[in-house]
Structure 1
Amino acid sequence: MLDTPPVSGLELSPPVLVRLISYTRDAPRLVAAAARITVSKKPVEKAWDMPSSEIEKWIRELIRRGHGSPLEHAVYTFEAVCSRVCSHQLVRHRIASYTQQSMRYTEGFLRQMVIELCRFSDVECPEKPHRRDDYALYSSILRWAAGLVDKHGERNGVETAKILEAVSRAFVLNPK
């Protein structure tokens, strides 16, 4: 068992934020029609015109037979803002197709982290670096935070937790 005191009043990560961006209209009918044409000689139009009462029946039959490809005709596109750990689990289980925002090309995330660290250390810091001095300040703040975590590690719970909170927020929330 670890002998680390609990850090009170600290929220390390925000909840996952999810927003529906787009979806296939009449997706259940599309899936049922796709299921029906796989076992029918009739044209697609006939399958599409099935009564509403048959849609659920065809989808259930599709699932019962383990024939999943017609389910892929229904597309729902979401924006999910979550931690790297969460996104890794989603991608690992391949329950959908994914496009992730690259951290390599979005310096706003890192900038937000430095601004959080500046607030924590009571250092004035520009919202966006423009001059060489600004970049030097950003660099020194990052070195200071890394050194503090290396030096104190888990022993200094509050400071380490605040630094980790700033880092986790920078890699979870979109920059303002």
Structure 2
Amino acid sequence: MGTTANGGACDTSRLEEPGQRETANEKVARAYAQTLNDHNMDGAKELFADDCRCIFTKADNMEMEFNEMATEIVKIFDAFPDFNFRFESSIDERKSDGVVVWSDFVPNGHHTGKPYGFGPCPAIEASGKYVENSPETIYIHVNEQGQIIKLVIECEGEMSGPPGIYTQLGGFPLM
């Protein structure tokens, strides 16, 4: 997977609240968000353990390996050169289990790149259309070595994940 630059991404380095010290796990979560907004899937891959599982709660707890998810994300980046995850909340580490929770991720971008298709659905030519998915809450499980071992993506609305993007572009409703 290649690295693609994204000049319009959110800079997560400015989100640490004054007087607050981030934990090591929160720093891993922030690094993951930054690699996504930089379209740097090679950098993201370095943050994940080899056997990491990615779970999507909206899709009946669909599970996939990180490499499978990364392949789909790269397709999105190719179709949406300005794609990023906008968020307004801060990250929070649940002290009971060390899971980092980051809510209100809002995937968005303009379809100005390659045609985009989801799964077996036909690709839709770029039209410049803006898409904005429903907010997501991400649960990031980090091991003692500082690697992400499980990523749970909880979507909060109908327009979520790649099916939501495809539907907004005019593909048949998948939801």
TM-score range, shorter chain: under 0.3
Q: Between Structure 1 and Structure 2, whose CA radius of gyration is higher?
A: 1
Structure that is richer in helix per residue: 1
Structure that is richer in strand per residue: 2
- Larger RCO: 1 or 2 (CA < 8 Å, sep 6+): 1
TM-score, normalised to structure 2, is: 0.24
